[in-house]
Amino acid sequence: MEHLEAQISSMCPLPFSGITGEIFLKAVSTVVAVHCTILDDFHWPPDNSREILEEGSGISFDFIVVGAGTAGSLFASRLSNAFPSWKILLIEAGDDPGIDTEIPAFLFLNQNSSNDWSYKTHPDDNSCLGFKDNSCIWSKGKGLGGSSSINAMIYLRGHPQDYAEWYNLGNPGWDYENLVTYFNEQEALFKITDPEFKGYDNEWYKILDNAWNELNFTSHNYKSHEAIVGTKKTRLLTQNGKRMNTAKQYFKDTDKLFVMKNTLVEKVIIDPLNKQACGVVVKHKSGIIMNITANKEVILSAGSIATPQILMMSGIGPKSHLDEIGIDCHQNLKVGQNLQDHVLLPLFLKTNMNMTTSTDVINILLLQYMLTKTGPFSNIGLTDYMGFIDTERNLDYPDIQFHYFYFTKNDNFVLKPYLEGLGYKIEIIEAIEDLNIDHDFLGIYPTLLRPKSTGEILLPKRPLTAPIIKANYFQHPDDVRTFLRAIDFVHKLEKTSIFREMGIELLNVSIRTCNEHLFNTDNYWWCYISHMATTIYHPVGTAKMGPRNDVNAVVNHDLQIHGISNLRVVDASIMPTIPGGNTMAATLVIARKAVDIIKKHYDSKDEL
């Protein structure tokens, strides 16, 4: 502390002289020192790349896990604990997450950063028309912890029926009754079940509860973590006012893991004679390319975009597509197909609160966070408040999830960076900013939970460049119709007494093409949806789990690639259908169950 004080006072000695200056110097030094401890005593695992590269292509490991994201970090660390005599290598294309990932309220600032793959969708005529190049940005975490280092930290299981559907598609052991143990275990681990949790304070909670209750919906608050009809406040993966990157939780309990950082896996090495995975080809940031052998298995946990990319680079995928690219096909499977995503539609409503936040207030709130890890920067504002409805049948199996956000009037701190991070065209951003000059906003974002449209991941002609993402949003017109029914529900909220009292009304965002239509007509909304709807960053399904007789299946219920031995997938790409809620919790469960699958497999081998 003395050294820090000396450095600060040397910059401008006079203001820090005397008794007043000395007191102020200690205060400033305390703020700096406290902020320096934001990482506490946690240390990311060391990078073993150098020693592995020095040993060269003769090196081998029992298990090679590709991707240290939400699933891979859990799987690799738990597997190393279960089998301490095994040599397990975890390979990650990124590095340790930066300090910006620690602060919950900074989640949007992590988009398009070094922690983000910043994928972009392939343009089409139906969607993302209000975005630069008519292409939506798909943020995906790059670095230890993967997307858990940049996401909204929202923890939801989805609906129990989601997993009944997985089971009914031919996947024994994947029904809700079998998975609930894993949900309970991880909720205890992350202290999500903490009975002393008092929640976050936000005046909008009561306002929204009143509106929904007037429409006869139940407020579930923090009860359970299931995405059922009604409203709820969701728990976040935060601890002590900071993001709980899932990798942190698992890495701190293991010290037997080998980790390669800043290393890209180019492909899995497949023995074409016996169709067996026997290692990987990696490229380190230094430019060194080498082969690493797997004595037992290769596990792909690279996520719903990179996992199918690696599989196809390895010769596992649709034969017709691989033939076009010039890759020998070892196994003809529908890799990269069945892509599903939750699509979100931003709606902006004015209120009569007319709240503003000055730069001085923001600075004070930042200071509060640095000193105490409390205040608005310790959470994500209104975004943890959810509403779920079934728009078509009024059953307890919702097809729309509502997210919320609040922007103060003439917001110069959050609104523009948020819209720019999403990738909207400048004219869209300016149209929204023009409305914000006169109005504070309640953002209501209906989110499509059960899309009928499916997309695909393809390799480009130059396979080592970014994959082609065809989201195919709104390929099926029923998805637009579901959004129209969701907008009808927003109109019902507008008519509630609390919304009328607060002057909450939908605003017309001026979009040149959509201005041809009368505001608030179906034609207007079809146009608006095609311009404004975007991802909520939940792509799944590109290595579908299912039995061998399912022509679209890539892995079986033990997560093994059909027709290829010693190769499994452990991430969200195995989901046959997308869960009805934020996907992080389900991804963690997949990884945790995968550990038990491996243990059962090798324990039974030992018994023989």
Secondary structure of 541-605 in the HEC alphabet? CCCCECCCCCCCCCECCCCEECCCECEEECCHHHCCCCCCCCCHHHHHHHHHHHHHHHHHHHHHH
pLDDT at position 111 is 80
Q: Which of 342, 314, 287, 248 is nearest to 64 (CA)?
A: 314
Residue 265 assigned as binding residue = yes
- The answer as to whether 428 is a domain residue is yes
pLDDT at position 1 is 55
pLDDT at position 239 is 87
Segment 458-472 shows an average pLDDT of 90
Tens of pLDDT, residue by residue over 369-383, are 888 888 888 899 999
pLDDT at 339 over 60: yes
pTM, 2 dp: 0.93
- The answer as to whether 139 is a domain residue is no
Confidence of residue 107 (pLDDT cuts 50, 70, 90): confident
pLDDT at position 393 is 84
Residue 27 parent element (H or E): helix 18-36
pLDDT at 607 over 50: no
- Based on the domain organization, do 384 and 483 belong to the same domain? yes
- The answer as to whether 25 is a domain residue is yes
pLDDT at 172 over 80: yes
Which among 535, 570, 590 is the end of a domain?
A: 535
Tens of pLDDT, residue by residue over 355-364, are 888 888 888 8
- The answer as to whether 332 is a domain residue is no
Segment 23-49 shows an average pLDDT of 69
Confidence of residue 9 (pLDDT cuts 50, 70, 90): low
- Based on the domain organization, do 22 and 123 belong to the same domain? no
- Based on the domain organization, do 375 and 485 belong to the same domain? yes
pLDDT at position 27 is 58
Tens of pLDDT, residue by residue over 520-566, are 999 999 999 999 999 999 999 999 999 999 999 999 999 999 999 99
- The answer as to whether 87 is a domain residue is no
Which among 509, 535, 561 is the end of a domain?
A: 535
Rg (CA), the chain: 25
- Residue 405 backbone phi and psi in degrees, to 5: -150, 150
- The answer as to whether 307 is a domain residue is no
- Based on the domain organization, do 20 and 124 belong to the same domain? no
- Based on the domain organization, do 31 and 119 belong to the same domain? no
Q: Percentage of residues in the chain with pLDDT exceeding 70? A: 93
Domain that holds residue 30: 2-36
pLDDT at position 224 is 87
pLDDT at position 367 is 82
Out of 49-58, 409-418, 492-501, the most confident range is 492-501
We report the CATH number of the domain holding residue 218 as 3.30.560.10
- Based on the domain organization, do 127 and 32 belong to the same domain? no
Segment 90-95 shows an average pLDDT of 97
Q: Which residue has the higher pLDDT, 211 or 106?
A: 211
Residue 79 parent element (H or E): helix 70-82
pLDDT at 599 over 50: yes
Residue 597 token pair: 């699958």
Measured CA to CA, the distance from residue 233 to residue 225 in angstroms comes to 9
For tokens 């929640």, what's the residue?
199
Tens of pLDDT, residue by residue over 198-256, are 888 899 999 999 999 999 999 998 988 999 999 999 999 998 888 999 998 899 878 78
- The answer as to whether 377 is a domain residue is yes
- Based on the domain organization, do 458 and 353 belong to the same domain? yes
Tens of pLDDT, residue by residue over 206-220, are 999 999 999 999 999
Number of domains in the chain: 2
- The answer as to whether 441 is a domain residue is yes
- Based on the domain organization, do 7 and 129 belong to the same domain? no
Measured CA to CA, the distance from residue 154 to residue 94 in angstroms comes to 23
**Are the CB atoms for 171 and 132 separated by under 8 Å?**
no
